[in-house]
Structure 1
Amino acid sequence: MTKNKCTRKYNQRQRKKMRVGEYQELVFVVTANPAEAFSAEQREAWMDEFVEHAIEGNGVVCAAAFNDDLWCYVMGEEKRASVTEAQRLAVLEWLSKKTEIVNLQVSPLRDANLGIELESA
């Protein structure tokens, strides 16, 4: 009888290649809408504050866009590093205090290689 792939034990090389176990990379996505239209200068200033306080202040990095709405993919600062639940909650807490944005959604931590699902904050 063969073991189920999910319960099979992999050696270190296999875990690294498959990016599972200690090699799994956890990330999350943030989406939101501005409460009212931002000018280009307001958008840039808001993003600077967001990156400085919510992102860099919590030891993570992001790829973000803020045109009609905010979309931000948050990942660990180091190569192949995971975001922790504490970091995710810190970003969520910072964003929740901002009255300039509405419809805030933050995904749960997900494997960077498997995709993202959103849930309301």
Structure 2
Amino acid sequence: MGAPIMPHGCVFARDQDGLSGVETARVPRVITYEESYMATNRSRRLRKKLCVDEFQELGFELTLNFKADLSDQVIDSFIDQFLDDAIAGNGLDYVGGEDYGLVCLAKRGSVSEEQRSAVEAWLKGRDELEGYEISPLLDVWYPGNPINQA
């Protein structure tokens, strides 16, 4: 006795107990983004493209708290100096606004702990700030992922 043909071309396979399930050879399987992302046997090319495993890129978040009595000109001047001296001067890029942003490497790769410390040292000597917060290094593409230890 052959396998019964069901609507839409699905074929049910029979085993000793009767129907065991749908044969998926004729029905294409839909792969979700989460399933493709979670695959662990990726090629080197794909790992590099996704910035995972040995190609993980690290950066840090930065929150700036300016003094309340500063004019817009002073804040703009501070931001210009910050971007020129602390960020570009250390080979970094800054993505964000006046008070919050993400610091990453200007080219492909990770921010080093020395670069992070250099930005922090530059901020320590500034009179325009009431305070600031610098996060530990984190994965800039997937912030929830742990940092790979090299």
1:77 aligns with 2:109: no
The C-alpha deviation readout for 1:45-93, integer Å capped at 9, x for no partner, is: 1111111111011110111312xxx112111111x32111111110011
**Alignment length, in residue pairs?**
106
1:1-121 aligned at under 5 Å gives the runs 11-66=43-98, 70-78=99-107, 80-115=108-143
Range that drifts further, 104-113 or 10-19: 10-19
Name the aligned partner's letter for residue 96 of structure 1: K
Looking at structure 2, the residues matched to 64 and 13 of structure 1 have their Cα atoms a distance apart, in angstroms, of: 30
Partner SS state of residue 126, structure 2: coil
TM-score (norm 1): 0.75
TM-score (norm 2): 0.62
Q: Which residue of 2 aligns with 1:4?
A: none
Partner SS state of residue 48, structure 1: helix
Partner SS state of residue 38, structure 1: coil
Q: Extract unaligned runs of 5+ from structure 2.
A: 1-39, 145-150
Partner SS state of residue 141, structure 2: coil
Looking at structure 2, the residues matched to 114 and 31 of structure 1 have their Cα atoms a distance apart, in angstroms, of: 19
Looking at structure 1, the residues matched to 69 and 102 of structure 2 have their Cα atoms a distance apart, in angstroms, of: 22
CA-based RMSD of the aligned residues comes to: 2.2
Looking at structure 2, the residues matched to 65 and 84 of structure 1 have their Cα atoms a distance apart, in angstroms, of: 22
Looking at structure 2, the residues matched to 40 and 88 of structure 1 have their Cα atoms a distance apart, in angstroms, of: 27
Give how far 1:10 is off.
Answer: 5.9
Structure 1 pair 17–77 and aligned structure 2 pair: CA distance change class (3 A):
closer
